Amino acid sequence: MQGRPITSILIANRGEIALRVMASARAMGIRTIAIYAEDDAHLPFVREADEAHSLGDGALKETYLNIEKIVTIAKAAKADAIHPGYGFLSENAAFAEAVVKAGIVFIGPSPEVISLMGDKVRAREAAKKIGVPLVPGYDGPEQDAGKLEKEAQRIGFPLLIKAAAGGGGKGMRIVESIEGFGEACRSAQSEAQAAFGDGRVFLEKYLLRPRHIEVQVFSDSHGNHVHLFERECSIQRRHQKIVEETPSPGVKDKAKLLETAVTIARGISYRGAGTVEFIADESGAFYFLEMNTRLQVEHPVTEMVTGVDLVRWQIIEAGGGKVPLTQGEIRQNGHAIEVRLYAEDPDQGFLPTGGTIRRVGEPAGFGVRFENGYEDGCAVATRYDPMLAKLAAHGATREEAAERLVEALGKTFFSGVKTNRSYLQRILRSKAFLAGDTTTDFVGRHAAQVARREPSDEEMALALAAVLGGKDSWVPGSSHARSPGMTETPWVKLAGFRVA
């Protein structure tokens, strides 16, 4: 259905990404249509859309994962196109196919390409044919325990067991020795089956202290393929990214990396925004991991250093247009870093938290970007991804971007809900981060360096004085007053007083 003007878009998602898509669509004069589960009816994205339609109540399969219901609503609302955002159905080939069959434009690649790259084994095969380097491993069809154990011994330890049909850390296990392989493999297969309806796994050599590097690519139906440089997303917890930046502080052969990503996009006749993910070892050698056939959570950092609106580009391409800029016209200026603000407790194993947000404190400042899906009085449901917002900062240098982001985090809060805000500040201030020592084992290896510390007597005295003086309590190490109700720092409760 590519090639016709888009005047209305249904966003098949929720929260901050729905608002993000609406912002670009509104700037282009395009009508926006929201869909929402009943427990989301109070969220800002529902109100901000030109029109909104309820998906009803119930489990996710009855709401945001209900393909038939979403397509029916889109047809009734006369939507020209559907933008899937990320997560939910964004990389579901059956959804993309259903959208196209309904005569609606799917803002993304073809169902065939989504299916190809969504199957990690088929994606590896495609990359191998194109000539892209792969991590040594096993991705064959035989899945019996004996065969997998034999291949594991051939590859050597440590190794990774990974789900063939999905990602996001589901069905993934790190195995240190043959003794633990059998149980880890059975566990990974079971988790993969539950998460993706497909229990197949593949094996990869586990690289020690690698970096997770990805390249933003963009393609159109006219044969144009470009990159918008790389991002590093190595700092993760439970295989989920929490800090992303561009440029990477650790890429050694940038030109080759970028060229390889574009080669993959061209080799599979890609269309739209996509991200090619690599793993890089300590020597700088890089290997293809997978391709995400959608917009990424971390796309703001790319937009900040290139000045490109990727959602606008997606809409233009979906309507049959060409990539707006040539490769030579795309420039990378300065450095940008993004952090994900989660409703979780980093000091309790990143345990997800819920509750009602009493007040949202939004940062302001030069080079700061805040994308938030909540407002005062909103409830945070634990059945959804715990990400509340994304916060990014841009600077002329990496150090300047980090400093701005730390300051912006100090002004950001979700009163009433425990978040990882102060944990993120500790990461950004750490010697390891500032030195660019950002490998995928960062969270574990530098746990002591970024651990919460109890305030000193001087800090407690200053904070208590601020409370007794009727002012917002002070945040040690920050140049501004601490906003009320922030529950994630240890000094909000002092001598029987609690900041409310």
The token duo for 259 is: 């060229």
286-292 β-sheet, strand order: 286-292, 272-280, 211-219, 225-237, 240-246, 335-342, 387-395, 368-372
How far apart (Å, rounded) are the C-alpha atoms in residues 343 and 403? 23
How far apart (Å, rounded) are the C-alpha atoms in residues 338 and 298? 7
Look at the chain and count its residues: 500
Query: Quick check: is 359 catalytic?
Result: no
Q: Is the peptide bond before 484 cis (omega within 30 degrees of 0)?
A: no
Helix H or strand E encompassing 302: helix 299-306
> First vs last Cα of the chain: how many Å apart?
54
Q: Among 294, 398, 426, 482, which one carries the catalytic annotation?
A: 294
The token duo for 57 is: 């109540």
| DSSP state letters, 434-468 | HTT---TTHHHHTTTTTS--PPPHHHHHHHHHHHH
| DSSP state letters, 200-264 | -EEEEEPPSS-EEEEEEEEE-TTS-EEEEEEEEEEEEETTEEEEEEES-SS-S-HHHHHHHHHHH
How far apart (Å, rounded) are the C-alpha atoms in residues 235 and 231? 12
Instruction: List the one residue out of 358, 328, 319 whose CA is nearest residue 8.
Output: 319
Distance, CA of 4 to chain centre: 30
Contact 246, 258 (CB under 8 A): no
Contact 96, 72 (CB under 8 A): no
Which residues, in sequence order, are CB contacts of 377 under 8 Å at separation 6+? 42, 356, 357, 358
Distances (CA, A) of 265 to 127, 273, 360: 10, 10, 40
How far apart (Å, rounded) are the C-alpha atoms in residues 125 and 225? 21
Specify the amino acid at residue 485.
Answer: G
- Catalytic residue set: 294
